[in-house]
Amino acid sequence: MAEQPPSPARASRAVPARPALLAGLALLTGLTLFVALGPLLHQPPGLTVTEQVRQRNLPPGWSHPLGTDDLGRDLMLRMMLGGRISLAVGLVATAISVGLGTGVGLVAGYFRRLDGWLMRLTDLFLALPLLPLLLVAAMLWREPLALRFGAESGSFLLITGAIGLTGWMQVARIVHAEVLSLREREYLAAARSIGAGPGRLILRHILPNVLPSVLVAATIGVSGAILTESALSFLGLGFPPDYPTWGRLLSEGVEHMETQPLRVLWPGLALTLTVLAATWIGDGLHLALDPRRRALKPRP
């Protein structure tokens, strides 16, 4: 019987850490700490409404390191709070799309009778203009969900659900291709011969071998989901104005590009660094976990 391909755990032990992977993890960790712990460490002084209005559009200074906005609100604090929402949207939407895409890819790749139907459905979703579709969904469902769950929770459910349900197709195609190359391997035939059913074959033998590709797709999907949410917020169809996201802050800063260009720089830089970190992590995981990309060293 042919030897089963190395598991992702063995591959990760056998391949030395990639510089891009370490750099991406360090950058993403720094951004996460900035948005998670920053509001606990940076507390602007409490001001009355009149005092806050007097401090609007201030340049960066000691009390407000990134300046203030039109209403006198501290921009650094809004960047931190906005980062929490943006990263949460990216993670939840990616979890939805990766879970759905992995399931569709596994079923379509293993069961020949469902292959054609599921892949044609995937092609149909790929042919849809996603951004206009997301805009229509936001316009139709934002108010009902806001009335049902509240403004912030309703917007979060709408945006994460819409992005997740329209972003699974690439993952499904990747997993489908992997399963097609795995389902005729000799170790799977041996498992069938001893009575293993489809569920056990998929969960115990096929899924562990497609996880490296799924992890890479997930890291790229996080950055794509954040950028999609930012586009919706930039167009005014994302979260309400009282709930800052990096896309919303970028949209608000465009109006002051001539007088305060830094207001556009900060959210744009945060988005760029997040996408860069996800890309580095994805590339590093692809090289570290894919046994076909790099020959594995023998166990010591």
Quote the pLDDT of residue 243. Answer: 81
What is the 3 state secondary structure string of the chain? CCCCCCCHHHHHHHCCCCHHHHHHHHHHHHHHHHHHHHHHHCCCCCCCHHHHHHCCCCCCCCCCCCCECCCCCEHHHHHHHHHHHHHHHHHHHHHHHHHHHHHHHHHHHHCHHHHHHHHHHHHHHHHCCHHHHHHHHHHHHHHHHHHHHCHHHHHHHHHHHHHHHCCCHHHHHHHHHHHHHHCCCHHHHHHHHCCCCHHHHHHHHHHHHHHHHHHHHHHHHHHHHHHHHHHHHHCCCCCCCCCCCHHHHHHHHHCCCCCCCHHHHHHHHHHHHHHHHHHHHHHHHHHHHCCCCCCCCCCC
Quote the pLDDT of residue 12. Answer: 46
Quote the pLDDT of residue 292. Answer: 52
**pTM (predicted TM-score):** 0.82
Quote the pLDDT of residue 293. Answer: 52
Domains in the chain: ranges and CATH: 20-25+68-289 (1.10.3720.10)
Low pLDDT (below 50) residues in the chain: 1-16, 294-300
Quote the pLDDT of residue 91. Answer: 92
